[in-house]
Amino acid sequence: MSMSMSQKILAHHANVDSVRSGQLIMADLDLVLGNDITSPVAINQFKKFGVTEVFDKSKVAIVPDHFAPNKDIKAATQCKMIRDFARDKEIENYFEIGKMGIEHALLPEQGLVNSGDLIIGADSHTCTYGALGAFSTGVGSTDMAGAMATGKAWFKVPQAMKFHLTGSLQKWVSGKDVILHIIGMIGVDGALYKSMEYSGPGVASLSIDDRFTICNMAIEAGAKNGIFPVDQVALDYLKEHNMKTPVIVEADEDAEYEEVFEIDLSTIRPTVAFPHLPDNTRTIDEVGKVKVDQVVIGSCTNGHISDLRVAAEILKGKKVAPGIRALVFPATQQIYLDAMEEGLLKIFVEAGVAVSTPTCGPCLGGHMGILAENERAIATTNRNFVGRMGHPGSEVYLASPAVAAASALTGYITNPETVKENE
């Protein structure tokens, strides 16, 4: 029976020859993830199982990144709870502040993700690892608890949608613009319960960071997962970060796709999602004059080194516009260090940008950049729901690091092409 790439990975992990969409399977997991918001709920559930150990100490990862470094006493209590649990259960992949990064940038960087893996995480953006050819998907805390206890989870095998990519991106256009364009096209439930599988000659032109961003926001189209084929770009990343032998799974030539979309990357424009849904997109040419109060560059979506390089290229030698608050969040300590050694942090600080330790912070309205009523942010984050970054009467516009950085210089949502032209 012909299968999509996602279906094949699920079949391997369910120890069966083939699966079909809609089939319910129980599958073995390679990694189970939780953070400081979802793990406390999972730990409470885990205790109810009556088991004393996690299924495999090397296959559980716990990352305090959401309200960490501890934002208040309650957050500190939750972080302490997961720290104590990790110590008690001897979980090998617990990352303390100072080593911590935003989970979906950290796990691949630490070599915890291999191509062909089946990974669940109690965080919706767990779908990020599809960039490396893994099947990864977000679940809730009870699933995490069950997975920590048994090493297994149940899945309904998803249908697949194919995105056939050709061409290559223009200067100042990135993976963020690709995924915003796609979500704008298919809607926030356009891929509900489905796999978003990427293929075609355009894939080779996308950096691994672009692919992380594209897979990261699969959930914003309602998808179960996003996934890229394992090509040389992915193999190079895996070789640099991972001791394991890559597992290459390819979709069958005659795999069934519920829908096929042709996307010419060279035609994609810088794209902005207006409040209050990620599918409310406009190209930069259609934005008009939108004043902002805050600029956020970072998050699991866009806190990678290449994101910071683009932002620094635009901000170099310039100043953040008066009255605008600009914040940069490198996604991991390694990215922070790389940004320091490359001189990017100096560029940010000299431009008047605040640089933070890694945290999810403002993306989910946690801390480190909350908006007041009627305030407006342009952010490289992933959601612009009502109240997402603070007051229910505030607004978030989603964009790429290039658009966010250009906007920091003017105080209005700005086309990065125009900033460079004015030099």
Partner 1 sequence: MNAHGKAFRYGDNVDTDVIIPARYLNTSDAKELASHCMEDIDKEFVNKVEEGDIMVANKNFGCGSSREHAPLAIKTAGISCVIASSFARIFYRNSINIGLPILECPEAVEGIKAGDVVDIDFATGRICNETTGVCFQSEPFPPFIQEMIANDGLVNYLKKEIAQ
User: Should residue 65 be labelled a site residue for partner 1 when binding is judged by CB under 8 A?
Assistant: no
Read off the DSSP letter of residue 201.
Answer: G
Q: Nearest distance from residue 356's CB to partner 1, in Å?
A: 17
Q: Nearest distance from residue 146's CB to partner 1, in Å?
A: 5
Q: Which two tokens mark 395?
A: 């607004």
**Interface pick for partner 1 out of 11, 67, 332, 358 (rule CB under 8 A):** 67
255 to 2, 14, 97: CA distances (angstroms) = 5, 19, 44
Which one, 189 or 350, has the nearer CB to partner 1?
189
Give the per-residue contact string, 357-386, with partner 1 (x = CB under 8 A; - = no).
Answer: -------xxx----------------x-xx
By CB under 8 A, the residues from 286 to 345 that bind partner 1 are none
Which one, 220 or 417, has the nearer CB to partner 1?
220
Residues 228, 109 contacting (CB under 8 angstroms): no
Which one, 109 or 123, has the nearer CB to partner 1?
123
Task: Select the span of 65-73, 100-108, 175-183, 399-407 touching partner 1 (CB under 8 A).
Answer: 65-73
Q: Nearest distance from residue 72's CB to partner 1, in Å?
A: 6
**Interface pick for partner 1 out of 102, 145, 214, 402 (rule CB under 8 A):** 145
Task: Select the span of 139-147, 227-235, 252-260, 302-310 touching partner 1 (CB under 8 A).
Answer: 139-147
Which one, 146 or 226, has the nearer CB to partner 1?
146
How far apart are alpha carbons 114 and 124 in whole angstroms? 19
By CB under 8 A, the residues from 231 to 260 that bind partner 1 are none
Read off the DSSP letter of residue 313.
Answer: H
Q: What are phi and psi of 375, to 5 degrees?
A: -85, 160
265 to 162, 165, 206, 270: CA distances (angstroms) = 15, 7, 10, 11
**Interface pick for partner 1 out of 123, 177, 375, 395 (rule CB under 8 A):** 123
Q: Which two tokens mark 279?
A: 């599918």
Read off the DSSP letter of residue 67.
Answer: S
Q: What is the distance of C-alpha 15 from the center of its chain?
A: 29
- What 3-state class would DSSP assign to 265? helix
Q: Nearest distance from residue 415's CB to partner 1, in Å?
A: 28
Which one, 188 or 355, has the nearer CB to partner 1?
188
Task: Select the span of 110-118, 121-129, 326-334, 404-412 touching partner 1 (CB under 8 A).
Answer: 121-129
* 154 class by beta-carbon count within 10 Å (0-12 exposed, 13-18 middle, 19+ buried): exposed
Interface size with partner 1, residues (CB under 8 A): 49
- With CA atoms as reference, report the closest residue to 52 among 148, 144, 122: 148
Report cis status (omega within 30 of 0) of the bond before 229: no
Give the per-residue contact string, 18-57, with partner 1 (x = CB under 8 A; - = no).
Answer: -------------------xx-xx--xx--xxxx------
**Interface pick for partner 1 out of 18, 142, 207, 283 (rule CB under 8 A):** 142
Strands (E) in 228-366, as ranges, are 259-264, 271-273, 281-283, 294-297, 325-328, 354-355
CA angle 199, 200, 202 (to 5 degrees): 110
User: Should residue 192 be labelled a site residue for partner 1 when binding is judged by CB under 8 A?
Assistant: yes
* 245 class by beta-carbon count within 10 Å (0-12 exposed, 13-18 middle, 19+ buried): exposed
The number of residues in the chain equals 423
Q: Nearest distance from residue 288's CB to partner 1, in Å?
A: 24
Q: What are phi and psi of 127, to 5 degrees?
A: -65, -10
Which one, 56 or 342, has the nearer CB to partner 1?
56
Task: Select the span of 74-82, 109-117, 326-334, 337-345 touching partner 1 (CB under 8 A).
Answer: 74-82
Which one, 8 or 383, has the nearer CB to partner 1?
383
- With CA atoms as reference, report the closest residue to 5 among 238, 229, 166: 229
Residues lying near partner 1 in the complex (CB under 8 A) are found at 37-38, 40-41, 44-45, 48-51, 66-67, 71-72, 74-75, 78, 121-124, 126, 138-143, 145-146, 149-150, 188-189, 192-193, 219, 222, 224, 277, 364-366, 383, 385-388, 392
